[in-house]
Amino acid sequence: MVLTVHHLQVSQSERIPWLCEELGIPYELKIYQRAPALAPPEFKALHWTGSAPVITDGDLTLAESGACVQYICEKHGGGRLFPTASHPLYADFLYWFHWANGTFTPTIGRAGMVPDGQDGGGNPMVAYSKKKRDDGFKGLDARLRDNDWLAGNEFTAADVMLVFSLTTLRYFVPMELAPYPNILAYLKRVGEREGVPARDEEVGSGDGVGPGRGGARVVLQEVGEGGQECPVAGPCSQTRRLMLGGILHML
Amino acid sequence: MVLTVHHLQVSQSERIPWLCEELGIPYELKIYQRAPALAPPEFKALHWTGSAPVITDGDLTLAESGACVQYICEKHGGGRLFPTASHPLYADFLYWFHWANGTFTPTIGRAGMVPDGQDGGGNPMVAYSKKKRDDGFKGLDARLRDNDWLAGNEFTAADVMLVFSLTTLRYFVPMELAPYPNILAYLKRVGEREGVPARDEEVGSGDGVGPGRGGARVVLQEVGEGGQECPVAGPCSQTRRLMLGGILHML
C-alpha cells in the first residue's frame, strides 16, 4: 500500500507531510491549490468533510489531523513520535497532543470571529473566548520555558499537531507572538529540525520525484485550479518549502 | 492509585464519569458546582487551563477531554472502548474520536459566536463557519443512518467524546436536532445504555458512597460555591442523573 498525502496548501494538512518527513517514511504527496480561497472540487471530493488533511492508504481514506497523525505514527511509523502508556512522557504527550487541536486551535478560531477591540454586540462569549485564547498562549509559553518540546525533552507528534496554530494559522487569524519569547525560541528550534525543509532547498528534478529527508521517497503531484493535473515543474514544487504550504513563511 | 474525576457540572467533564461507568472501573467522583457561571476557584486551582475535565491519578493531574479519555481507556480500562491498529474499526474509530472534539465541537462553538441570522458585520468567516457546522450535522446524521455507533457496530470512546456536543452544549449554544432523525435515534440508544444513569435513580445512601453501574464503586464528593465541601446529601447528589451534569436533561 502506498500512503498518499493529499495536501491542501496553506492549511492544517501541512502537518502530514511534515510528520512523514520526521518519520522518514515513503509517501506520495499530492498537492492541491486553493481555488481561490477554498479547497478545489477535486479535494472536496476525497472525503465528506471537504476539509484538510486527507490521506489515502490502499482502500482507506482518512481525514482529521489527529486521526491522520495517530494513524501514520502507529501504522507506518512503528509507533515513533507517539509515546505509549509505558513511556515516561506518556501523560504529558497525551495532554499536549489533544490540547493542540482540541483546545488551542479552536480557541484561536473562536476568538478570531470578532476582531480584537470589538465586543460582538455585548456577547459575553467574546470576552471569555479572548481570555481563554490569551491564557492558552501564556500557558504554552510557560510550558516551553523549561521544555524544548511539548511533551518534554523529546520531539513528538504533539509538536506536529501544534505548530500550524503558531505559524500558518496567522494567514487567517492575526496574532502577535512577540510577548511570548519561549514560543519564539521553540519555533526557532522547529525551523532547525531535519524534517523541516530548508527555505531555498530545491525539490525534485522535474520528474516529480524528490528525495525526502531521512531517505524517504517523496512523489510530488500537483492538482491545480480547475482540476488540471500539472507537472511538478510548476511554481509550487520549486522549493520543498512550498510542499508544506506556509509553514516556513511564518517561522 | 485512586482515579479521581474532578467533575465541573454542566461541562465537557461529564464525558469522564460516563466513560468510567461504561468501563465499570472504580473511581472517586468529586463534583464542583459553577459559581455561578464559571468554574469555582477550587476547580481552577487543579490545572493551569482551569477548564474541565480534570482527573488525578496518584501524582498525575491531567486535563483535556481527549487526553483523559485515552488515558483512562489505556491505563484503567485495559484498552476497552479504544480500538487499536489491529481492530477492524480502528480507522473509523480514530476518525470519529478525533473529529468529535477536533472539528465538531469547535465548529459549533465558532458558529455560535454570532447568532444565526446575523452576519457579524460582513465577516466572511461567519457564513463559512455556519456552513461547516451544518455540514457537520449532516455528515454525522448520514454516518448514523447505517451505524448504531460512531465507529460502526461497537460503542467506543468516540461516542463518549461526541455526545456532549449534542446534549449539554445546548445549554450554551442553541441548536435544533429535529432535522436529523438519525442523530435523534442515536441519542435514544445512548440514553438506553447501562452506563448512562436513569433519570430518577437515587444515588448513594447519604454517606457519599453509591454503587456505579457494572459494580463500580463511585465515591461522591461535592465542592460547593465558596470552597465549602458539603456532604453528598445535598441536592446535587440526589440523583445519579446529576452526576453527569446535563447529559440526561437533554437526551
Choose among A32, A80, A54: nearest CA to A214: A80
Could you tell me the end-to-end alpha-carbon distance of chain A, in angstroms, rounded to an integer? 34
CA distance A211 to A213: 7
Residues of B in contact with A52 (CB under 8 A): none
User: Of A106, A123, A126, which has the smallest distance from its Cβ to B106's Cβ?
Assistant: A106
Confidence of residue B105 (pLDDT cuts 50, 70, 90): very high
Report the 10 Å Cβ neighbour count for A37: 8
Q: How many degrees, rounded to 5, is the angle at CA A68 between CA B74 and CA B72? A: 15
pLDDT of residue B220: 52
pLDDT higher than 60, residue B121 = yes
Element (H, E) at A59: none
**Is B30 or A239 the better-scoring residue by pLDDT?**
B30
**How far does Cα B14 stand from its chain's mean position?**
4
pLDDT of residue A131: 93
Nearest CA in chain B to A94: B67
**Is A207 or B4 the better-scoring residue by pLDDT?**
B4
Residues of chain A with pLDDT under 50: 198-217, 224-251
Measured in angstroms, the CA of A119 and the nearest CA of chain B are apart by 11
Q: Which residues contact B22 (CB under 8 A, 6 or more apart)?
A: B81, B155, B160, B193, B194, B195, B214
Interface test mutation site (partner A, options B47, B55, B94, B126, max chain A beta carbons within 10 A)? B94
Q: Is A7 in contact with A14 (CB distance < 8 Å)? A: yes
Choose among B18, B30, B84, B22: nearest CA to B57: B30
pLDDT of residue A197: 53
Give chain B's mean pLDDT: 80
Q: Domain B90-191 maps to which CATH number in 1.20.1050.10, 3.30.230.10, 2.40.10.330, 3.30.565.10?
A: 1.20.1050.10
pLDDT of residue A98: 98
CATH topology of domain A3-81+195-250: Glutaredoxin (3.40.30)
Q: Do B113 and A120 touch (CB under 8 A)?
A: yes
Report the predicted TM-score, pTM, of the whole model to 2 decimal places: 0.86
Q: Which of A110-119, A205-214, B61-70, B193-202 has the lowest mean pLDDT?
A: A205-214
Q: CATH homologous superfamily of domain B3-81+195-245?
A: Glutaredoxin (3.40.30.10)
All cell numbers assigned to B48 = 493551569
Residues of A in contact with B48 (CB under 8 A): 139, 142
> What are the domain boundaries of chain A?
3-81+195-250, 90-191
What ipTM was predicted for this assembly?
Answer: 0.85
Q: Which residues contact A174 (CB under 8 A, 6 or more apart)?
A: A112
pLDDT of residue B235: 29
Cis peptide, bond prior to residue B53, ω within 30 of zero: yes
Q: Which of A83-92, B147-156, B193-202, B231-240 has the lowest mean pLDDT?
A: B231-240
**How far does Cα A206 stand from its chain's mean position?**
26
Measured in angstroms, the CA of A66 and the nearest CA of chain B are apart by 6
